[in-house]
Amino acid sequence: MHATDPDQAAAPVPAPNSAFLEEKTFRNRTVLVFGSITDTSASETVRRLLMLDAESGAPINMIVSSPGGHLESGDAIHDVLRFIGAPVNMIGTGWVGSAATHLYLGVPRERRVCLPQTRFLIHQPSGGAGGPASDIAIQAREIVKARERIARVIARECGQPLERVMADIERDHWMPAEDAVAYGLVSRIIERRTELEQG
């Protein structure tokens, strides 16, 4: 028997080259939105969408797994999804919540799909108001406006009455994949990439 070289045993397994993997994903016309939505992640996502749209009118696949984040950053992605000419297939996985649900609704319902274990969350925006009373009052009014705007988008894109959506987002409203289909958030549940291509 040969003794194991301790230096060899402790050698770390090389990590995949993330820049290489990002490039491969991009070349396959796939955009990933994972983790919290911030102005930085929104900027990167928008940049990728615009570049892919300029390159070709072929479909783009966007895979989303995010708890949400900054509402206006989600707005930016939502609006750019509607702005570009290339069609986008929106694929939910893991969980799609809050501002992530908002950007998920940036494409037509027939292009919104999810994987079987996906959960969705809709709710009203929250804010940490602080400062003078007059500023707190302004922030409170803006939150009310944002709540109504989000409700109108959900109602329009899901085919639900606005009154129902307003009631549903009063508290956290969780939906497993099947319920999200019934609600109109998702067109269908898929398990394999070939099903996406058949849609």
- Residues tagged active-site: 123
Amino acid letter for position 52 = L
In sequence order, what are the residues at sequence separation of 6 or more whose Cβ sits closer than 8 angstroms to the Cβ of residue 161?
155
CB 130 within 8 A of CB 107: no
